[in-house]
Homo-oligomer: A and B are copies of this chain.
Amino acid sequence: LSEKFVEVGKSRPPIFAPEVVKGSVLHTEDLRLPNMLYAKFLLSPYAHAKIKRIDTSAAERLPGVVSIITHKDVPKVKYNSSHVPDAMTRVDEYVLSDKARFIGDRLAAVAARDPDIAEEALELIDVDYEELPFVLDPKEAMKPDAPKIHEDVDNNIALHLTNAWGDVKKGFEEADLIFEDEYYTQAAHPIPLEPQTCVAYYKSGKVEIWTSNQVPHRVLPKLSRIFNMPQSKIRIYQPHIGGAFGNKCGLSLEPVAILLSMKSGAPVMMELTGEEMFLTTSPRHPSFTKLKIGVKKDGTIISKEVKTVLDTGAYVSHGTGVLSAAVYSSFGITSLYKCPNHKMDGYCVYTNKVPSGAFRGYGNPQVTFPLESMLDTIAEELGLDPMDLRLKNAVREGDVDPISKIVIESCGLQECARRASDAIGWKMKRGIEEKGKGVGTAWLMLTSGVHPIMDETCGAFVKIFSDGTVVVTMSAPDLGQGIMTTVAQIAAEELGVSVKDVSVTRADTNQPVNRGTWASGTLYFTGQAVRLAAADARSQLLKKAAEILEVRAENLRIESGKIVAGEEPKKSASFEEVMKEVEGGEIIGKATYVPSVSSHIFGVVCAEVEVDVETGEVNPIQVVYAHDIGRAINPAIVKGQIEGSIIQGLGYALTECLVWGKRGEMLNRTFVDYKILTSRDVPKLVPILVETKDKTGPYDAKGVGEPPIMAIAPAIANAIYDAVGIRIKEIPITPEKVLEKIREKKSRT
């Protein structure tokens, strides 16, 4: 019975799809308030410099300029710009910087009657800089004589985390073979199409904020702390968001907009340009990883040692979160393959570059690339099929995850591997020499659930109107990924109504708390809150129906929009008939979901590529991705998420890379110079859904937003190896790197 779902499992179009297509959704930048001012940042032209003097008087005299703020105006409260609570991470930022730490560091902000005037005013701000030596490379930055970026930090190491079990030294002694190598990943930018935008309006001790933000409820206490304002006097609304991918997962424009509004008494809009998005907002942490793996001859992994260095740029921001994720989470590097002896060291290092931040995958791609690359090297050395090596070592249902110490409730890895292999024709294609073509695989793991430092609690309301239609109040921002649609399906399923009759609110910090949209956990957590709230509404409804039908509530069920008791002849009442008897004409279900469980999420990528040995160009032919989804609440949305994540993963693997010049200036800060893939670049994509019915999730669902991107790069690298026998250990895999390796290989043979 419980499997006969009406709404769950159906591919409903996203709730706001028609509006997105027609361009009628309202983004933050569509907001117009009376007397609204437009603000612009003054950005540092130096990678590292003392601000000896900053004089805004000439700029203030420009007609149309209303307010200018510099570091002299900002609250003397340091904060962390990520979604991690300030008390749980390093704090090293002020609303505006008192010292320039990268080219693009925010030094002042101007609010003016129009954006052009604000822009013009920037040029009138007179700054005396004292240039300081700077460092761009994290390896250099860790040296004792490197320039000191933050006074209180030695060797520019913002954070060092370790995690270990077993005895790696003994493990390596017992190993038959030991593999050791270094891998590099680059700074790729999430660059959503909607730039970061924020409007703040402060008046009478209260501030209202409209912002394209993934985590409104998490930035609220930060703003409260920075401005020493009661949380109840700050209200954050979330208009429609045009993509985020991690880029909007924390504080960015909000404190500046608030401060300008406080100073001017007017509402203030800040909207970044495309160039400012690149220059001042966060790319994925570049990394280098030393990986050492010891195996038995049969392929059993026996010891593993990992040292990862993440380049956090000028401020720590998400550095704590990303490094913790890499070291302490149930990722591929830690949990996917059983290994009795494990040691991992992670470093988060300051450099004079734009701060790194959150980006789909959040620490996982950086360590999955080394691991999944090396596994192929091991398989080759041992003469094993890379699939078999992985299968042999991979965790299974019932195993205890060494990180979370939780039993793995469900694991679809084996089926993912089988179906991905079948779909790509693994057995036919692998190891076959054919005109530069090859296939490769890479596997991935992550987890959603109880978190060591983050509170994942989510609340929701489900209201039934007097006509029996429903509104879900919840505050998980929909970034385009479809949470508004899937929670509508969950509420509809729970209440036995049509999803067409369900509306869903956008985030608002006056609404029940929400952990925000990140880490592929939005549905896993919010979906449960909505399901519980709907169940609460349902039970209130049935209680009232029981009074009317004069039966016991537990004997009632909902069948195609009616409340029904018994067998034929049935007693029944419509929603409207029952609601007519409810005082006030509405029922509100309420729930707070406090997670006490975790789900382990698995996926298998198989990629087929063609390598042009003359030009070095890598042409992906197809990407198959099999994902353990638990249950797909909305298969079309799940497949859309998978396809988007694969495409972003292909960009990460092949083309996307921020490049800095000698002065520390970002060289490719436009969509022309920074190459994200377009629809013309997309190969055949084959998303495969494996349902394992994980009991911990809402209707047994697991997360999906991030996974594919985590393992696309190693799968491509492994396919290239299969195609032309070269091993690239540094992404993106550009034609230059491929050609160089091909030349190297030729010169060796």
Residues of A within 8 A of B (CB): 16, 18-19, 22, 24, 26, 30, 32-34, 203-206, 220-221, 224, 230-233, 235, 265, 455, 457-459, 463, 465-467, 469-471, 473, 500-503, 505, 510, 512-513, 583-586, 588, 590, 592, 594
Are B206 and A503 interface neighbours, CB within 8 A?
yes
- Known: A24-B203, A221-B466, A510-B463. Contact between A471 and B232, CB under 8 A? yes
Are B459 and A503 interface neighbours, CB within 8 A?
no
Are A512 and B588 interface neighbours, CB within 8 A?
yes
Q: Give 9 closest A-B pairs by Cβ, nearest first.
A: A457-B584, A231-B465, A32-B32, A232-B469, A230-B469, A583-B594, A513-B584, A18-B204, A232-B503
How far is A16 from B465 in the complex, measured between Cα atoms in Å? 31
Residues of chain B lying within 8 A (CB to CB) of residue A16:
204
5 contacts between A and B (CB under 8 A): A19-B204, A206-B503, A455-B583, A512-B584, A512-B588
A224, A512, A585, most chain B CB atoms within 10 A: A585
A204, A232, A471, A513, most chain B CB atoms within 10 A: A232
How far is A206 from B265 in the complex, measured between Cα atoms in Å? 35
Residues of chain B lying within 8 A (CB to CB) of residue A588:
459, 512, 590, 592
Our pick among B18, B233, B265, B471 for the contact of A503 (Cβ within 8 Å) is: B233
Are A233 and B469 interface neighbours, CB within 8 A?
yes
A582 to chain B, nearest CB (A): 9
Residues of chain B lying within 8 A (CB to CB) of residue A221:
466-467, 585
Closest residue of B by beta carbon distance from A590: B590
Are B30 and A33 interface neighbours, CB within 8 A?
yes
How far is A466 from B26 in the complex, measured between Cα atoms in Å? 31
Our pick among B473, B583, B594 for the contact of A592 (Cβ within 8 Å) is: B583
Are A18 and B203 interface neighbours, CB within 8 A?
yes
Copies of this chain per assembly:
2
Are A510 and B590 interface neighbours, CB within 8 A?
no
Residues of chain B lying within 8 A (CB to CB) of residue A469:
230-233
A167 to chain B, nearest CB (A): 38
Are B232 and A459 interface neighbours, CB within 8 A?
no
Are B455 and A585 interface neighbours, CB within 8 A?
yes
Are B503 and A585 interface neighbours, CB within 8 A?
no
Are A231 and B265 interface neighbours, CB within 8 A?
no
Residues of chain B lying within 8 A (CB to CB) of residue A34:
26, 30
> Secondary structure of the A side of the interface?
mixed
How far is A33 from B31 in the complex, measured between Cα atoms in Å? 7
A18, A220, A583, A590, most chain B CB atoms within 10 A: A583
Residues of chain B lying within 8 A (CB to CB) of residue A22:
203, 265
A138 to chain B, nearest CB (A): 35
Closest residue of B by beta carbon distance from A501: B230
Closest residue of B by beta carbon distance from A488: B232
Closest residue of B by beta carbon distance from A27: B34
How far is A713 from B34 in the complex, measured between Cα atoms in Å? 42
Residues of chain B lying within 8 A (CB to CB) of residue A26:
33-34
- For the A-B complex with A235-B471, A584-B592 known, give 4 more contacts whose Cβ atoms are closer than 8 Å: A19-B203, A30-B34, A232-B503, A459-B584
How far is A471 from B30 in the complex, measured between Cα atoms in Å? 27
A465, A467, A473, most chain B CB atoms within 10 A: A465
Closest residue of B by beta carbon distance from A504: B232
A538 to chain B, nearest CB (A): 16
Are A501 and B33 interface neighbours, CB within 8 A?
no
How far is A590 from B511 in the complex, measured between Cα atoms in Å? 12
- Known: A30-B34, A467-B221. Contact between A586 and B232, CB under 8 A? no
Residues of chain B lying within 8 A (CB to CB) of residue A265:
22, 24
Are A510 and B584 interface neighbours, CB within 8 A?
no
A693 to chain B, nearest CB (A): 27
A288 to chain B, nearest CB (A): 37
Are A513 and B473 interface neighbours, CB within 8 A?
no
How far is A224 from B18 in the complex, measured between Cα atoms in Å? 22
Residues of chain B lying within 8 A (CB to CB) of residue A458:
584
Are A502 and B232 interface neighbours, CB within 8 A?
yes
Our pick among B206, B471, B585 for the contact of A513 (Cβ within 8 Å) is: B585
Are B465 and A503 interface neighbours, CB within 8 A?
no
How far is A220 from B469 in the complex, measured between Cα atoms in Å? 13
How far is A24 from B19 in the complex, measured between Cα atoms in Å? 31
How far is A359 from B364 in the complex, measured between Cα atoms in Å? 65
Residues of chain B lying within 8 A (CB to CB) of residue A32:
32-33
A22, A231, A455, most chain B CB atoms within 10 A: A231
How far is A361 from B32 in the complex, measured between Cα atoms in Å? 38
How far is A251 from B69 in the complex, measured between Cα atoms in Å? 47
A734 to chain B, nearest CB (A): 41
How far is A513 from B461 in the complex, measured between Cα atoms in Å? 13
A266 to chain B, nearest CB (A): 8
Residues of chain B lying within 8 A (CB to CB) of residue A471:
232, 235, 510
How far is A583 from B586 in the complex, measured between Cα atoms in Å? 28
Residues of chain B lying within 8 A (CB to CB) of residue A30:
33-34
How far is A456 from B235 in the complex, measured between Cα atoms in Å? 29
A233 to chain B, nearest CB (A): 6
Are A505 and B513 interface neighbours, CB within 8 A?
no
Residues of chain B lying within 8 A (CB to CB) of residue A24:
203, 265
Are A457 and B232 interface neighbours, CB within 8 A?
no
